Amino acid sequence: MALPTACALIAVLALPGGPAQADDAAPRVDLRVLVVTDGGPAVDAIAAELDTAGTPYTEVDLQQPGRPVIDAAFLADTVEGRPRAKYQAVVLPNDNPFSTGSPEMAALATYERTYGIPQVDAYTYARPEVGLQYAVGSGYAGSLDGVEAQVTTVGRAGPFGYLDGAVPFEDNSPSVGESYAYLSQPAAGADFTSYVDAQIPGRATRGSLVGEYRHDGRRELVVTFVYNRYQQQFRLLARGIVEWMTGGVHLGASRNYFAVHVDDVLAADDRWDSTLNCTPGDVDCEPGEGVPNPIRMTAEDAGYAATWQSDRNFTMDFAYNAAGSVDHRQDNNGVDLLADKLIVDRNRFRWINHTYTHAFLGCEQDVSVVPWRCATLPDGTTKWVSRNEISDEIATNRVWGQVSGLPLDNTELVTGEHSGMRLLPQQPTDNPNLAPALADNGVTWLASDNSREVGQRQLGSATTVPRYPMNIFYNAGRAAEQVDEYNWIYTSRQQGGSGICEDNPATTTCLPAPLDTTTGYTDYIVPLETRIALGHVLGNDPRPHFIHQSNLAEDRIAYPVLNGVLDSHARLFADNTPVVNLRMKDIGAELSKRSVWKSAVESGDVTAYRIGDTVTVRAPATVAVTATMPAGTTRGTAAFGQPYAGKVSAWVTGTPLPLVLTLPPSAVSGTVHGGTGDAPATNETAPRARVPAGVLRQVPYSRER
């Protein structure tokens, strides 16, 4: 084994009792998870959770010809004379996905007994072989759509302690079966502890949905409901599944992130015309069609926003266009009560430069046609907005903000409509003048539209930060306007809509019927947008959401959705698992570190293992390491990491010196609890997972300015 050098980061995690020392009699256990999949959604969901958190795993696809054979040599070997377990946990599609008498299952059982390795049964049915009674008769097998399960007292004291208790199962569509589960109590004599349960229909008893079965010197986490990676019930439990299988010591980390950018602050947004089905003053209407009727926040709206933030302990990011205030003062004898109020309350918000006039910074637009097209020079080449014009938009807006005392971070920028970057179909390439202008102004974080570009990319000096568009439209200040436009977009031509949903069935779902303009916003759009945004929050996804200042004006239609997300989170999670509300540059940095970490893990540049009470992590010094440890872990005499969900976690930047972390006494683990003897592994084949018929998912139709 190569000795560590200055080019490697070495993290040593030791139990108390003096300097970190390796136990000569202890085996080495690598911090990597073995994921065995049969192509079903449950294993895919767990793998996605590991992937998002940055926890290394090896996947074996049972359906893949030529796959590795899972035998003793695949699972363990010897390194420098010490036995090595190559995986700290095993995830299987069910308790035995192999054929009867399979030597692979026997090898796994022996491996788990020998090294104390836990096994997750991603989805299996209730029966004595997994420590449960058969569901037929005393239990239940069927749909759990709309049922609210609960974390048990033991579950809250253990791996699911970050939850407040409720685990609601989704019921998004009455015509779609979204869940299937077996509810059952422990079998007679079984050493089984339920962590999550639900009421058995028609009975006074509750049945397990997630529980630990200890037998045969082994530990299994038995999950008896099917799920996919997007469903709320899985997203709520995913963290606990990982913490159970790793004992709370693993690479990678997870948070519940939520950030909201409000674009066009100080400007006015054009209003949707319900008769013309377009937005007068914007490019979706024919030139000269209709009369613009702009929407602009008032001082009262600004005051409401500040108070709402204080009440919710949440901060919005205001992306501002200073020309909106300058023009308003010119038209109103120097008066702009909105700007005055926002400047007084400037430190209650975060601020982002959104350019001075919200100009389109890509190609020069020819709006004589609908849809618009890029203007061209006489030789047929694209006519681009110049470097100086782009720089003026950035710099002039910045100066106004500095004079007004806004707490800006000049490395952040949101261009109008995310312009300057490629935009299909009209502008398939970036404006070549954008990158130089960004560098001229010290911009290193540039907002992009996640509905157009999912990942980060480099654009000159700047790295993009993808933002989720909320389906709360920029051109709607009132709920009825929002619903009318929503109906136009999401209904068929036969129903009076645009037919966009018919033309793009792969990305847009048609409504079965137009929504009622009086009740449709509250009854349909708000719950749907809340569910979509909450899904991002529960998915360890830091990317921000963006709305517009018009949505904080008039009917203030954004707040029901924002309240829905925050209220749902507060109801579901314990106080030790708060919403993490980052500003744009910190979100960009988080995404960038994840990308570098993922590449290092996939290329084999990261190794991590435990020997006795010591865990060692090696990575290149240029790679920040992400790790989650038990609360109370220390780095020298200082606490390690930041507390979250009952654990501590952090990014550790490269250093030529060893990093020594000491685990608290409560973290001493590794022995198998309960169950003795040498009973053979069960060879009964578990059923193929029953997959939900589908989950209603609405892909946002980006309506931005």
Tell me the pLDDT tens digit for each residue of 358-407. Answer: 999 999 999 999 899 999 999 999 999 999 999 999 999 999 999 999 99
In 3-state terms, what secondary structure has residue 57? strand
pLDDT of residue 616: 83
Mean pLDDT of 137-152: 95
Structure token digits, residue 33: 């998870």
245, 531 in Cβ contact below 8 A?
no
- Rounded distance between C-alpha atoms, residue 683 and residue 471, angstroms: 50
DSSP letter (8 states) at residue 65: T
Question: Chain-centre distance of CA 394, in angstroms?
Answer: 31
Q: Give Dmax (Cα) for the chain.
A: 89
The model's pLDDT over 545-557, given as tens digits with 9 standing for 90+, comes to 999 999 999 999 9
Mean pLDDT of 306-319: 98
In 3-state terms, what secondary structure has residue 183? strand
Q: How wide is the angle at C-alpha 473 spanned by C-alphas 352 and 434, nearest 5°? A: 40
What CATH number does the domain located at 32-248 have?
A: 3.40.50.880
pLDDT band (50, 70, 90) for residue 45 = very high
* Residue 572: how many other CB atoms lie within 10 Å: 21
143, 246 in Cβ contact below 8 A?
no
| Burial grade of 499 (CB within 10 A; 0-12, 13-18, 19 or more) | middle
Q: Tell me the residue length of the chain.
A: 705
Q: Is the pLDDT of residue 475 over 80?
A: yes
Q: Is the pLDDT of residue 677 over 70?
A: no
The rounded mean pLDDT for the chain is 91
Q: Is the pLDDT of residue 678 over 60?
A: no
pLDDT of residue 508: 84
Q: Is the pLDDT of residue 168 over 60?
A: yes
Q: Is the pLDDT of residue 184 over 60?
A: yes
Mean pLDDT of 119-146: 96
Q: Is the pLDDT of residue 704 over 70?
A: no
pLDDT band (50, 70, 90) for residue 637 = confident
pLDDT of residue 658: 61
Backbone φ, ψ for residue 648 (5° rounding): -125, 145
Mean pLDDT of 568-585: 98
Which residues, including other chains, have CB under 8 Å from residue 496's CB and lie 6 or more apart? 487, 488, 514
Sign of the alpha-carbon torsion through 436, 441, 445, 448 = negative
Lowest mean pLDDT among 281-285, 448-452, 633-637, 639-643: 633-637
475, 272 in Cβ contact below 8 A?
yes
Q: Which residues pair with 617 in a beta bridge?
A: 11, 608
**Percent of the chain residues past pLDDT 90, beyond the cut:** 81
Helix (H) or strand (E) holding 591: helix 584-602
Structure token digits, residue 136: 């037929």
pLDDT band (50, 70, 90) for residue 672 = very low
pLDDT of residue 451: 94
The model's pLDDT over 578-623, given as tens digits with 9 standing for 90+, comes to 999 999 999 999 999 999 999 999 999 999 988 777 778 888 889 9
Lowest mean pLDDT among 93-102, 147-156, 404-413, 636-645: 636-645
Spell out the long-range contacts of 506-511 with Cβ–Cβ below 8 A and sequence spacing 24 or more.
507/699, 508/699, 508/701, 509/696, 509/697, 509/698, 509/699, 511/487
The model's pLDDT over 324-361, given as tens digits with 9 standing for 90+, comes to 999 999 999 999 999 999 999 999 999 999 999 999 99
Q: Is the pLDDT of residue 9 over 70?
A: no
Instruction: Write out the E strands in 512-663.
Output: 545-548, 607-611, 614-620, 625-630, 634-635, 638-639, 642-644, 647-652, 659-662
Residue 480 Rama label (left phi>0; alpha psi -120 to 50; beta): alpha
Q: Where in the chain is the domain with CATH 3.40.50.880?
A: 32-248
**Count of helix runs (H) and strand runs (E) in the chain:** 17, 35
pLDDT of residue 689: 43
Q: Is the pLDDT of residue 569 over 90?
A: yes
In 3-state terms, what secondary structure has residue 258? coil
Q: What is the crossing angle of helices 41-53 and 232-246, to 10°? A: 70
pLDDT band (50, 70, 90) for residue 507 = confident
Mean pLDDT of 648-655: 85
Q: How wide is the angle at C-alpha 179 spanned by C-alphas 451 and 151, nearest 5°? A: 100
pLDDT of residue 614: 78
pLDDT of residue 390: 98
* Residue 601: how many other CB atoms lie within 10 Å: 23
- Rounded distance between C-alpha atoms, residue 408 and residue 394, angstroms: 13
The model's pLDDT over 73-94, given as tens digits with 9 standing for 90+, comes to 999 999 999 999 999 999 999 9
Mean pLDDT of 653-662: 68
Q: Is the pLDDT of residue 4 over 60?
A: no
pLDDT of residue 339: 98
pLDDT of residue 665: 77
pLDDT band (50, 70, 90) for residue 12 = low
CA distances from 660 to 23, 228, 600, 634 (A): 16, 38, 21, 8
Mean pLDDT of 209-235: 98
